[in-house]
Structure 1
Amino acid sequence: MSDETPTEVKVSFWLWVAAAVFMVAAYLSLFILRQHFIDEQVKNNVDPKATADKIASGATYFLLAMLIGAIVMGCLFVLFAWKAREGTRSARTVLTGLLIATVLFLIFIKLNGLAFLFGPLFGLIALLLMYLPKVQPYFPKVGRQLP
């Protein structure tokens, strides 16, 4: 890591790593404790064609897909945070999009619980640090000539 990297960008990188870890941990715990999730889905079932076995199978695959998605998203957080730490302006933009997608997914799926809020919260703080006026010179615009 370069000595000229602003402290805010260094802290932001580690917050992105923490966001990735918390996000994967939340989905991993949901997958491990999936029986509670399945029981809730069976209890709330209104479709007579959906048997408990079908719900359990579908829920297991759904939770596995969400866990894999969280792992991929966490890896993308770390990869682009690494690139942003190197001063790549477009990495900051990609992180903005990834965080927006993560928050929209949580709203759409309606997952609640403190565990699912830590990742996006750390990501939001990390993103705000990357957009502070003090660190703007660290992310130069492409094609712009300095005098």
Structure 2
Amino acid sequence: MSDTAANETDDERRKRGRAPDPILPGQTSPKITVPKPVAISFWLWILAGVVLVAGQIALLVLKEELTQGILKQIKENPVPGQPADPALVASGVNTLLWMLFGGAVTFAVLFALFAYKAREGTRSARTVLTVGAVFLVLVELLILRGSLNVFLLVSTLLVAIALILMYLPSVSDFFPKVGRKLP
């Protein structure tokens, strides 16, 4: 190893596509210079997760009105031979809302975890966040289409902005592409 390579900072090693030096027990970790767009993106990912969970909490609070609206639609457009059981509809709505709440909490935790790792310069964390953002958009477009859930729309907008900030050309050196060499 050359003398200049031994004296490089972690940021300089990252620009060359190298991993930071390992931190040994008892050593303090070096400070990483996080580009401003990546720092802003981190907080947007956190905010998107909070908004997503808040939207599901709002749906849980409005569960009774949602159930009554579904029962009203069933009474206005009855299906022949299938009577509407209010207890069964309420149970189904309750189950669906709790499943959506669990999914929102899972997304929020994953957004926070991988945004934290991306803030450290981990390229694979940025990739995972990209896949999560695409999945969120697909859920909104394919599964929940037609439902004007303002919280989901705001969360998706925040995720889109956060993702754009992570792919700006000015931060490409922060997420180095590590070359692969075959043996």
**Match for residue 6 of structure 1 among 35, 45, 57:** 35
1:87-124 superposed Cα distances (whole Å, 9 cap, x missing partner): 01111111111111111112212331322211111111
Alignment CA distance shift 1:3-1:90 (3 Å): closer
* Aligned twin of 1:82: 116
8 Å CA contact 2:34, 2:119 repeated in 1: yes
Q: Distance in 1 between matches of 2:174 and 2:46?
A: 20
Query: What does 1:21-32 correspond to in 2, within 5 Å?
Result: 21-32=50-61
Task: Give the percent of matched residue pairs that are identical in Structure 1 and Structure 2.
Answer: 41
TM-score (norm 2): 0.74
| Whole-angstrom distance in 2 between the partners of 1:2 and 1:34 | 47
Q: Secondary structure of 2:34's partner?
A: coil
Distance (whole Å) between structure 1 residues aligned to residue 37 and residue 127 of structure 2: 17
Q: Normalized against structure 1, the TM-score is what?
A: 0.92
| CA positional deviation for 1:84 | 0.4
Using the TM superposition, give the Cα deviation of residue 142 of structure 1 relative to its aligned residue in structure 2, in angstroms. 2.2
Structure 1 unmatched ranges of 5 or more? none
Residue 158 (structure 2) pairs with residue 129 (structure 1):
no
Query: How many residues end up aligned between the 2 structures?
Result: 145
Q: Compute the displacement of 1:2 (Å).
A: 3.7
Q: Where does the alignment leave 5 or more consecutive residues of structure 2 unmatched?
A: 1-29
Q: CA RMSD in A?
A: 1.7
Q: CA deviation at 1:62?
A: 0.4
Q: Which runs of 4+ in 1 moved over 6 A?
A: none
Structural mapping, 1:102-113, within 5 Å = 102-107=136-141, 108-110=143-145, 111-113=147-149
Aligned equivalents of 1:50 and 1:86: distance in 2?
Answer: 53
**Higher share in helix:** 1
Q: Which has the larger radius of gyration?
A: 2
TM-aligned CA deviation for residue 144 of structure 1: 6.1
